Amino acid sequence: MKTPGTSTRAEQREASRQSVLEAAAELFSHFGFEGTSMNSISDKAGVSKQNMIYYFGSKEGLWEEMLDWLFANVADSFDEVLYKGRSVDQISISDFIRAYFEVCRRHPAYVLIPMLEGVNDTWRSKMIAERYLSRHVGRFNRFVRACADRGEISDVEPLHLQNLAAGGAQLFLALAPIWKLAAGKDTTSEKFIREYAETVVRLLKPAS
């Protein structure tokens, strides 16, 4: 039996919020903050614009909630694909790269939004950097040092490695439309990304 009254309303509201967040992530990630209108989000989500603003307060508020929602989803995927309860010490650089590429493939907006926003120094860039990337960069640096100590990778500046390990797939995934047009290949397929991960892993192996 469905509980009547407030419970159903709350459920309805949550469902609407959810579909707005999904639509917002999709549109913001493709057209940027300025290039995305509240009309297009509400159309895509099937929620009236007025209610959407009522839920999220403003376009800025919606963007902010979308960001937190997105990064929470990504963190869940990371746990599922990579950590599975393991600690950082138990993860090899190959595992990391392969898993990272896979997570990026599953969450296009995770790749696209920092890419579109990171071009400028705005409140949105600041929010992405402060809430998420700073922690990410620090954690990655510690991970790289551990891998280097174990002799798993050749001696590479962590930031360079981060760019090689994470950035390459980001470009293939984010710029898939233009890669398709220019090179005629689908750079988002699971196979393509897996093979690229293998290339990167191979190049990073220390010359024994």
Partner DNA sequence: GTCTATACCCAGATAGAC
Partner DNA sequence: GTCTATCTGGGTATAGAC
For DNA, the binding residues (CB under 7 A) are: 9-10, 12-13, 16, 36-40, 48-51, 53-54, 58-60
State which of residues 16, 30, 77, 78 lies at the interface with a copy of itself (CB under 8 A).
30
HSE value, Cβ hemisphere, 13 Å, CA-based, for 151: 2
Distance CA 167, CA 115 (A): 10
The answer to whether 142 contacts a copy of itself (rule: CB under 8 A) is no
Pair 103, 81: CB distance under 8 Å: yes
Distance CA 191, CA 166 (A): 17
Stretch that binds a copy of itself, among 45-53, 56-64, 143-151, 182-190 (CB under 8 A): 182-190
Shortest Cβ distance from residue 39 to a copy of itself (Å)?
13
What 3-state DSSP class applies to 77?
helix
Pair 78, 178: CB distance under 8 Å: no
- Residues in contact with a copy of itself by the rule CB under 8 A: 29-35, 112, 114-121, 125-126, 128-130, 133-134, 136-137, 154, 156-157, 159-160, 163-164, 167-168, 170-172, 174-175, 177-183, 185, 187, 195-196, 199-200, 203-204, 207-208
